[in-house]
Chain A
Amino acid sequence: MLSRHAEDLFWVGRYVERAEDTARMLDVTYHNLLESPGDGAETTWGELLEVLYVNALYTGPLESSAVSSYLVADRTNPGSIISAVERARDNARGLRDRISTELWEAINVFHLDLARADFHLDLDRRAYEVFRSIKSRCQLISGVAAQTMPRDEGYRFMLLGLLLERAEMTCRLLSVRYARLAGGDGQSGFHAWVSVLKSVSAYEAYLKAHDASLDPTDVLQFLLLDQEFPRSVLYCLQQVERLIDRLTGSSQQTSMVRAVGRVRAHAEFTDIPTIVDGRLDPFLEELQKEIYEVSDEVEAHFFRAGTDLQLHFQRWA
């Protein structure tokens, strides 16, 4: 497969996951604020922009409808849902012969619907439906991909992009939210942890594994290191490692293989209780940095490897 196609598929995965994660975070932030006293709203919206790395770009007021519409429908925001879906769709269009028709249609219809929607009205009147429908449309895309794509390298590249984005998003969410949450206690702390869990669809899964007291250490343990929850950082990294293994044929100890092994082991063998007090921030920062490194290595290894191409030798006679 051409590295150009591999890269496009990788980014389809990333963009779709980015759109979904953005909708999740918006959803939880929005509804969490409805239930809490009004004083923390500005900080909370500011934090959300920080998690999504667009706080430096955003110049509007820190209130719900302005931030929501910036994150959902603003084409000038490269991190907005509409921008992400647009780019996923642009990539998919060039991959029509590599992806199933169903997958293309799922992405294209989503894109068309987003372009047609009147978000100013919708985000004001029925934000819940908007976020829910974005989430389910993204899940439809990954579901259709899972059901219709052959398990070839194209599918693996798409999944690789999706998982790296997911691992990174979960880390970002934790690093921004934890600083404030660690200080809070009682009711507000409880609600805040519920919202963190809900934003990654982990609340119910968490309750099955732990009791309802929502001990911050347990929550971190769950979101970072759970072996079975598909959105935990460790789970994503294990899948990434497995995919890279399959994609390279595993016989080579490249810097990419080492980078992914390093970050997976770093996460896996970290003892959460010992870092909860004071050392969580540097840990999450390092983890994020290592995930970026894996992305960079993937790009360098699979997509920018053109520099050391060899020509098949020919003779004439």
Chain B
Amino acid sequence: MRLEIRYLNEFTYGEPAWESHNLLRACPANDEHQQLATYRVEVTPTARVHSYTDYWGTRVDEFGIVEPHRSLRVMAESTVDTTTPSSPSSVSTVEALESVRGELSSFLRPSPHAIWDGPIEEAAREAVGGAVEVVDVATAVSDKVTSTLDYVPGATYIGVDVADVMSQGKGVCQDFAHLGIAMYRSIGIPARYVSGYLYAAEQTSAVAPDEPELSVQTHAWLEVFVPGHGWWGLDPTNAQPVGELHVKIGHGRDYQDVMPLRGVYHGGADHQLGVQVRISRERLSQMAEQ
């Protein structure tokens, strides 16, 4: 499916900001499941954008604005062709993971947003039951996350503990992903965090929308490693394997590694952020002037 995506961040500062340095990770990945056709970044006030690929393989656009400014507008426009990844067909048991344990240790250890405690591991073990095949284990844990959490926008903040999220029983897509990752890792299944866009009217249902153009939000899901198959994308927020409505930006140990936009600046702490993601199956309509 060909999708056009426009990701817009607009910062408005209470007092002028200067010496602003930012890293943008908004470019759809080019991999075996999706192909990037076009990508461009526009920054206002104008800044020279330097691009590179980070350790995890995600494209990073780096830019700095020295002169004082009252607002910052960062727009990333992309066109991407997506396909539905095949489901793992191989039969591989959790024992088969032993041979890749060293290589994938980054995705097996706790990371800042995915630190688990006893209850998380217990919940994971309970969900898995007697399953021994990685695909079954992965599905069971993903379903457990879906049934444990209610999707409640604004329920959490960045940096919340997954343990708190679990006891609270509600969260947003990042929390679903982090809780899932923590559960997988607690029982020795390599899992990584994926940042991306979802072309769906609701984050909780990966169903192709009726209208061609949609206003959405950035999305997050996860991938588990299945021996003999590779990384397999699962989206616990909407209880589905990753399909052609998912556009992957990149992956990492957790949110920290693929944060869509991070930056620092000098000036007052007071600022507003407006984020907009538009996705369309056809050409994107021109955005209404703000």
Contact = CB atoms under 8 A, between A and B. Distances in A.
Nearest to B156: A316
Interface of A, secondary structure class, is: loop
A309 B264 contact: yes
Contacts of A1: 64, 66
Interface string B212-223: 000001101000
A313 B255 CA distance: 15
B22 interface: yes
Contact of B264 (A310, A315, A316): A310
Nearest to B219: A317
A312 interface: yes
A34 interface: no
A312 B265 contact: yes
A312 B153 contact: no
Given A1-B66, A252-B16, A305-B19, A314 B261 contact: yes
Contacts of A50: none
B273 A249 contact: no
Contact of B275 (A248, A249, A315): A315
B264 A311 contact: yes
Interface string A241-253: 0000001110110
Nearest to B277: A317
B266 interface: yes
Interface centre among A248, A305, A315, A317 (most CB of B within 10 A): A317
Given A153-B66, A251-B16, A310-B269, A316 B174 contact: yes
A185 interface: no
Contact of B267 (A3, A310, A314): A310
Nearest to A312: B263
A252 B156 CA distance: 38
B195 to A, nearest CB: 10
Interface string B15-42: 0111111100000000000000000000
A308 to B, nearest CB: 6
Nearest to A3: B19
A316 B273 contact: no
Given A251-B68, A305-B19, A313 B273 contact: yes
A251 B11 CA distance: 20
B229 interface: no
Given A1-B66, A315-B275, A310 B158 contact: no
B228 interface: no
Contacts of B66: 1, 153, 247, 249
Contacts of B273: 312-315
A313 B172 CA distance: 17
Interface in B234-263: 255, 259-263
B268 interface: yes
B283 interface: no
Interface string A94-125: 00000000000000000000000000000000
Contacts of A252: 16, 18, 68
A242 to B, nearest CB: 16
Contacts of B203: 317
B266 A249 contact: no
Contacts of A314: 158, 259-262, 273
Contacts of B158: 314-316
Contacts of B266: 305, 308-310
Contacts of A305: 19, 266
A73 to B, nearest CB: 39
Contact of B255 (A3, A312, A316): A316
Contact of B22 (A153, A308, A312): A312
Interface in B32-80: 64, 66-68
Nearest to B255: A316
Nearest to B15: A252
B153 A317 contact: yes
Nearest to B64: A1
B201 to A, nearest CB: 14
Nearest to B19: A305
B138 interface: no
B152 to A, nearest CB: 11
B194 interface: no
Interface in B147-205: 153-154, 156, 158, 172-174, 203
A252 B68 CA distance: 9
B271 interface: yes
Query: Closest 5 CB pairs between A and B?
Result: A312-B263, A249-B67, A316-B174, A317-B217, A309-B264
23 contacts: A1-B66, A2-B21, A248-B68, A249-B66, A251-B68, A310-B266, A310-B267, A310-B271, A311-B262, A311-B263, A312-B20, A312-B22, A312-B264, A312-B271, A312-B273, A314-B260, A315-B275, A316-B172, A316-B174, A316-B255, A317-B154, A317-B172, A317-B203
Interface of B: 11, 16-22, 64, 66-68, 153-154, 156, 158, 172-174, 203, 217-218, 220, 255, 259-269, 271, 273, 275
Given A305-B19, A316-B156, 13 more contacts: A252-B16, A309-B264, A310-B265, A310-B266, A312-B262, A315-B158, A315-B275, A316-B158, A317-B153, A317-B173, A317-B203, A317-B217, A317-B218
Interface of A: 1-3, 153, 247-249, 251-252, 305, 308-317
